[in-house]
Amino acid sequence: MASSIVAGTTADEAERAAVELSRLAAACPETRQQGMPSDADCRAVYEGLGRRGLIGLHWPENLGGRGSSALETIAAEERLGYHWLPLSSYLLSVKTIGNALMHFAPLLAERFLPDIAAGKVVFCQGFSEPGAGSDLAGIATRAVVESDRLVITGRKIWTSSVADADWIYLAVRTDPLLERHHGLSVVVAEMSTPGISWTLHRTVGGGTLGEIGLEDVEVPLDQVVGELDAGWKVLMGTLDYERVTSEKVGVAFYLLDRLGELAPASYAASLRRLRGEALAARLHGRRATELLAGRRPAAAASSMAKLSIALLLQEIAETCLDVLGPRALIEDGEAAPLGGRIARFVRAVSAATIAGGASDIQRRVIARHGLNCPR
Amino acid sequence: MTDEVADMLVSAVARAVGNNPAPDRWEPGQWADDSMSEQSEMLGAALERIGWSAELSDEAGPTAVGLAAVPLGKGTASLRFVDSILGGRPVVAGLVRHWQATEPALELVSGGRLRHLQDTRIEPVAYGDGSGIGLLVETSGSSEVDPLVAARRLEAWRAASIGYLAGLSEVALNECLEYLISREAFGRPLAARESIQGRLADCATALEGMCLLVSNDYSWASLSYSAAAAVDITSACHQLTGALGFTLEYPLQRRSRRARAMRAWSDWAADVA
Ligand SMILES: Cc1cc2nc3c(=O)[nH]c(=O)nc-3n(C[C@H](O)[C@H](O)[C@H](O)COP(=O)(O)OP(=O)(O)OC[C@H]3O[C@@H](n4cnc5c(N)ncnc54)[C@H](O)[C@@H]3O)c2cc1C
């Protein structure tokens, strides 16, 4: 329902592109079993978005963007999610990493954003490690400065889009003697750099997550994002962008629209309440986006955006089961509701409150930054 | 049946399950039937030897059956063995479990009755749970199961289902607890965090409730609640085991998918009955 979003030419264009690209997506074997568009990958769709000028809408024209407002971008992203496009590489390359490069590393932004915007380069994000997930400051991957380069050794895990990625945005420890939150740095490295290897873990969502080995990986110092040893600020800023998941708002509205058609009248009240929740989640996303665009503190607002939509998606999944009963879980064939999309979504949705920072961590940010609760 | 005999039944089932661990062949989007493995057949044979059948509840009563189903849930054994207690495969919302199996297809109909469907044509469908789900396409006729027998069988089947759900939830929660005790974050084990302890306490309370229901009440309400509680518990475990719990290699997903399927089936069955 196009009427349910901010009106605007870019959103309309995104709507049309999404309809076209969803055909490409349907032909993409990696996305076949994926239950959550934001976790799915399809290089052809990414390139298609790039060709249509829909990547980095709000970036300046000289960096490949259109100079649209950040709000227009999230309205467009909502349409992409509504049409169930595989968006993992888009979200990482644009929302998370591209935006952070613009914010923290203008030179790297000049170098990478035009290629990202054209749909030619995909980034993945190497933050989590076997020993550090929620506690990002606990990362152990070491990077040692040797003349004009960093030499990196360690292990990353749960890396989305690793198989599609050309570059990785890596969090590393550059000074182990400093307090945990200091001595961290963020660097970008080409995936083909000697010493980088990866394997895949399959997920119940129907996708894969990478595990990356880093052995004496040499990266030039000019690929450090921001300042050496001052990576914590970059990481936190990066996460603020990542947490505005407007494409998931699109997913929620899509499911609510379809449930409205499928559900008996007795569900009208619960669907209405869920729709109201989706409207609030969308506004959370807009508010956080405005704060980020104005370079104002956005930690609590972006955590609220992330928490609200993630919880809502899980509620919608349970409602799908209530409404459709045992048939909700049919994954394929004519008897499968929405061609199996619901069954796939239901098994993928537990990750909504884990990926990009667990809901408990969002709550902690909201309590501390939003409510000034004592630590 | 004396407590002693019930205890013996429980440990016999536990031994059979322990000796024949059920492999998980389910994959996203694929059709799978966990009763179609050598281990599952051996488990079936072992259970048959200890008299695990619809007639068991006539002698042993639903409590013993419910308690003895707990180890089946702990081992995420095939639901075929829960359905043996019913004397056939339940047909709910036009779906049947273990579509290739030869046990009677028993449709649940209003008034808590059972109808034995004849000459069924069933087609397999890819499903979120590896129970060999099939779509009932055709049936040429049916005969009603004696209402008294049906009521007794259904009661024992509900007891077995509740027991299975309790066993499944207990193992999921224990595995999660193990993760939280060994996982250090922010300078201490995750299990030491009050907010996490709160959630674990909620799960433990729900689990204890299911265990109490197993030996006391096998109404549809008890089954509906137990299935919902199993979904809540396994969902909490997903949250608390983070990305690891989301992988196919970690056993939680198998339990959570089954809990969710059982919730959908139990709720619809209860609505019909
Ligand atoms: C689909 C998916 C995609 C992902 N993609 C990427 C990626 O591209 N790059 C990347 O670097 N990582 C990625 N991750 C990893 C993700 O960032 C981590 O899973 C997440 O940060 C949680 O870390 P963990 O899994 O190690 O869980 P843990 O840190 O072990 O935590 C387990 C659970 O404990 C709870 N918890 C933790 N700390 C606290 C606390 N202080 N208070 C209360 N409760 C707490 C939370 O509920 C949490 O889920 C992805 C994960 C998923 C599931």
> Looking at residue B172, which CATH number applies to its domain?
1.20.140.10
Please check whether residues B263 and B158 belong to one and the same domain: yes
Integer-rounded Cα Rg, in Å, for chain A is 20
Q: Tell me, using a 6 A CB cutoff, whether residue B186 lines ligand 1.
A: yes
**Which of B235, B240, B249 for mutating ligand 1's site (highest number of atoms within 8 Å of CB)?**
B240
Q: Which domains does chain A have, with CATH numbers?
A: 9-121 (1.10.540.10), 125-229 (2.40.110.10), 243-370 (1.20.140.10)
Map tokens 């894969």 to a residue. Answer: A208
Residue whose CA is at the smallest distance from ligand 1 atom 41: A361
Q: What is the 3-state secondary structure (H, E, C) of A34-85?
A: CCCHHHCCCHHHHHHHHHCCCCCCCCCHHHCCCCCCHHHHHHHHHHHHHCCC
Please check whether residues B194 and B116 belong to one and the same domain: no
Q: What is the 3-state secondary structure (H, E, C) of chain B?
A: CCHHHHHHHHHHHHHHHHHCCCCCCCCCCCCCECCCCHHHHHHHHHHHHCCCCCCHHHHHHHHHHHHHHHHHHHCCCCCHHHHCCCCCEEEECCEECCCCCCCCEEEEECCCEEEEEECCEEEECCECCCECCEEEEECCEEEECCHHHHHHHHHHHHHHHHHHHHHHHHHHHHHHHHHHHHCEECCEEHHHCHHHHHHHHHHHHHHHHHHHHHCCCCCHHHHHHHHHHHHHHHHHHHHHHHHHHCECCCCHHHHHHHHHHHHHHHHHHHHHC
The CA-based diameter of chain A, rounded to the nearest angstrom, is 70
User: Which of B65, B109, B67 minimizes the C-alpha distance to B90?
Assistant: B109
Angle B56-B58-B59 (CA atoms, 0-180°, nearest 5)? Answer: 70
Q: Tell me, using a 6 A CB cutoff, whether residue A136 lines ligand 1.
A: no
Average pLDDT over residues B152-156: 96
| Distance spanning both ends of chain A, measured CA to CA | 44
Please check whether residues B179 and B77 belong to one and the same domain: no
Judged by DSSP in three states, A216 sits in strand
Q: What percent of chain A has pLDDT over 70?
A: 98
B264 vs A344: CB contact, 8 Å cut-off?
no
Q: Please give the number of the atom of ligand 1 that sits closest to the Cα of B244.
A: 25
Q: How many whole angstroms separate alpha carbon B261 and alpha carbon A188?
A: 43
**Residue A2, pLDDT score:** 39
Please check whether residues B143 and B154 belong to one and the same domain: no
**Residue A8, pLDDT score:** 61
- Interface-testing mutation among B79, B89, B125, B253, with chain A (most A C-beta atoms within 10 A): B125
Residue whose CA is at the smallest distance from ligand 1 atom 16: A355
Question: Does the pLDDT of residue B75 top 70, yes or no?
Answer: yes
User: Which of B113, B180, B181, B186 minimizes the C-alpha distance to B153?
Assistant: B113
Q: How many whole angstroms separate alpha carbon A106 and alpha carbon A112?
A: 10
| Distance spanning both ends of chain B, measured CA to CA | 28
The two counts, helices (H) then strands (E), for chain A are 12, 8
Please check whether residues B122 and B225 belong to one and the same domain: no
Please check whether residues B75 and B32 belong to one and the same domain: yes
ipTM over 0.95: yes
**Residue A11, pLDDT score:** 84
pLDDT tier at B242, thresholds 50, 70, 90: very high
Cα–ligand 1 centroid distance for A128 (angstroms): 8
A330 vs B246: CB contact, 8 Å cut-off?
no
Please check whether residues B55 and B95 belong to one and the same domain: no
Q: How many whole angstroms separate alpha carbon B129 and alpha carbon A204?
A: 11
Q: Tell me, using a 6 A CB cutoff, whether residue A209 lines ligand 1.
A: yes
Least CB–CB distance from B95: residue in A321, A326, A354: A326
Number of residues assigned to chain A? 375
Q: How many whole angstroms separate alpha carbon B100 and alpha carbon A100?
A: 55
| pLDDT tens digits, A300-330 | 999 999 999 999 999 999 999 999 999 999 9
| pLDDT tens digits, A110-151 | 999 999 999 999 999 999 999 999 999 999 999 999 999 999
- Interface-testing mutation among B89, B95, B107, B127, with chain A (most A C-beta atoms within 10 A): B127
**Residue A238, pLDDT score:** 86
Please check whether residues B156 and B212 belong to one and the same domain: yes
Write out the two tokens for B71.
């180890």
User: Is residue A289 within 8 Å of residue A247, measured between CB atoms?
Assistant: no
Please check whether residues B154 and B110 belong to one and the same domain: no
User: Which of B231, B225, B190 minimizes the C-alpha distance to B210?
Assistant: B225
Structural domain including B67 reads 3-83
Give kind and range of the element (H or E) at residue A169.
strand A167-173
Under DSSP, the state recorded for A275 is: H
Q: B42, B62, B83: which is the final residue of a domain?
A: B83
Q: Tell me, using a 6 A CB cutoff, whether residue A227 lines ligand 1.
A: no
Average pLDDT over residues A225-236: 94
Could you give the dihedral angle defined by the CA atoms of residues B107, B108, B110 and B114, in that order, rounded to the nearest 10 degrees? 70
Q: What's the number of domains chain B is made of?
A: 3
**Which of A38, A354, A373, A375 for mutating ligand 1's site (highest number of atoms within 8 Å of CB)?**
A354
Question: Does the pLDDT of residue B272 top 90, yes or no?
Answer: no
Average pLDDT over residues B147-160: 96
Nearest CA-CA distance, residue B86 and chain A, Å: 19
**Which stretches of A164-298 are DSSP H helices?**
231-242, 246-262, 268-293
Please check whether residues B156 and B268 belong to one and the same domain: yes
Cα–ligand 1 centroid distance for A349 (angstroms): 14
Please check whether residues B111 and B188 belong to one and the same domain: no
Residue whose CA is at the smallest distance from ligand 1 atom 52: A355
Could you give the dihedral angle defined by the CA atoms of residues A17, A18, A23 and A26, in that order, rounded to the nearest 10 degrees? 150
Query: Taking all residues of chain A, what is their mean pLDDT, rounded to a whole number?
Result: 94
B95 vs A314: CB contact, 8 Å cut-off?
no
Q: B53, B83, B113: which is the final residue of a domain?
A: B83
Least CB–CB distance from A332: residue in B93, B126, B235: B126
Sign (positive or negative) of CA dihedral B125, B129, B132, B137: negative
Q: B51, B67, B83: which is the final residue of a domain?
A: B83
pLDDT tier at A12, thresholds 50, 70, 90: confident
Question: Does the pLDDT of residue A1 top 60, yes or no?
Answer: no
Show Cβ contacts of residue B250 under 8 Å, excluding neighbours closer than 6 positions: B241, B244
Contact status of B129 with chain A (Cβ, < 8 Å): yes
Judged by DSSP in three states, A249 sits in helix
| pLDDT tens digits, A35-91 | 999 999 999 999 999 999 999 999 999 999 999 999 999 999 999 999 999 999 999
Strands A167-173, A123-126: parallel, antiparallel or unpaired by DSSP?
parallel
- State the amino acid at position B41 in one-letter form: E
DSSP A140-158: --EEEEETTEEEEEEEEEE
A347 vs B133: CB contact, 8 Å cut-off?
no
Average pLDDT over residues A273-295: 96
Question: Does the pLDDT of residue B39 top 70, yes or no?
Answer: yes
Distance from the Cα of residue A211 to its chain's centroid: 18
Nearest CA-CA distance, residue A61 and chain B, Å: 38
User: Is residue A58 within 8 Å of residue A68, measured between CB atoms?
Assistant: yes
Please check whether residues B266 and B154 belong to one and the same domain: yes
